[in-house]
Amino acid sequence: MIQKRNARALVIGGSRGIGAAIVRRLVTDGAHVTFTWSGSRERAEHIARETGSTCVQVDATDRERLLAVVREAGVLDVFVFNAGLLVAGDPLTLDPDDIDRMIDVNVRAAYHASVEAARRMVDGGRIIVIGSGNGDRVPVPGLAAYAMTKSALQSMARGLARDFGARRITVNVIQPGPTDTDMNPADAPAAETIRSVMAIKEHASADDIAAYVSFLTRPEARHITGAMQTIDGGYCA
């Protein structure tokens, strides 16, 4: 963990999949972790009991409530934004309201929450945003709007890295490729097609992504900022 054990970490979107793996890993690293959830209270409370972390319900589209949660977390060493929506399909028929909600979560919430976290972060703190390999590559139809939101995170991280660099706060995006979660299970009907274009023909695990988050919190990662950390088995190679 960055400066000390017992560092304070806040994870936005930590009740399942990659987010839950990040919560578990940061707790294992010695952090005091608070995480947010928006779907299943039962699942969130299970993770909280299992790890000794604290869970808080928030809808990431509710900007004022989201920022209040960040403020209430107190002084932060690590901030991870993992909340995200995937809306895919023919852009001519997708519901515009669904697209706007995805933009609200994937872009607006990521920006506002990261800035608020920086306001109460120690010098040398770490901001980590979970993006997607689709920020670099759109391999199939139907992903235009989703990929747009993930590309936006890249510019956000580059800009905030410069804005907060004088305080030695690093800002990075981790870009998973095919990862075995509820959103993209390794046994899904299309999984073999997805793996066919990968150099390493297997899905990553959520723990693989969490391990990279852990690395970016360490002293050895102090000079990595404004960067895209891609973990995709060569999917975008």
- Active-site residue set: 146
Sign, Cα dihedral of 84, 85, 89, 94:
negative
d(CA 197, CA 191): 11
**Helix, strand, coil share of the chain (percent; to 5):** 45, 20, 35
Task: Check if the beta carbon of residue 170 is closer than 8 Å to that of residue 127.
Answer: yes
Burial class, 42, CB count within 10 angstroms (exposed 0-12 / middle 13-18 / buried 19+): exposed
Task: Check if the beta carbon of residue 12 is closer than 8 Å to that of residue 36.
Answer: yes
Cβ neighbours of 92 (radius 10 Å): 5
Burial class, 105, CB count within 10 angstroms (exposed 0-12 / middle 13-18 / buried 19+): buried
